[in-house]
Amino acid sequence: MSSETPPGALPAVTPARVLAGLCLLVPVVATLWVSSYTKATPALGGVPFFYWYQLLWVPVSAVFTVGAYLLINRDEKARKAARAGGGQ
């Protein structure tokens, strides 16, 4: 079997899609790696590090998710343009 894509076919894996996957993976790894933040100091406004670190990842995860969405959206538009241009 050949791993090359046939002529005119668009590759399933593109750099934008890989980067979008990494954008979604970063918050998951950061919050599941508990031993990296299972401590009380430094406290922020009296709140132990363990809690404010997790709460900080809520907006940060939203930013990463928006970035992944924008990357996929741009990739889909490029795919549609390539399909429309290739069919003419």
pLDDT at residue number 71? 96
pLDDT attached to residue 72 = 95
- Full-prediction pTM beyond 0.85? no
pLDDT of residue 8: 63
pLDDT value, residue 87: 55
Peptide bond into 59 cis (omega under 30): no
In a 10 Å sphere around its CB, with 0-12 CB exposed, 13-18 middle and 19+ buried, how is residue 20 labelled? buried
User: By the 8 A CB rule, do 79 and 72 touch?
Assistant: no
Average pLDDT by consecutive 10-residue portion of the chain (88 residues)? Answer: 61 91 96 90 90 94 98 93 74
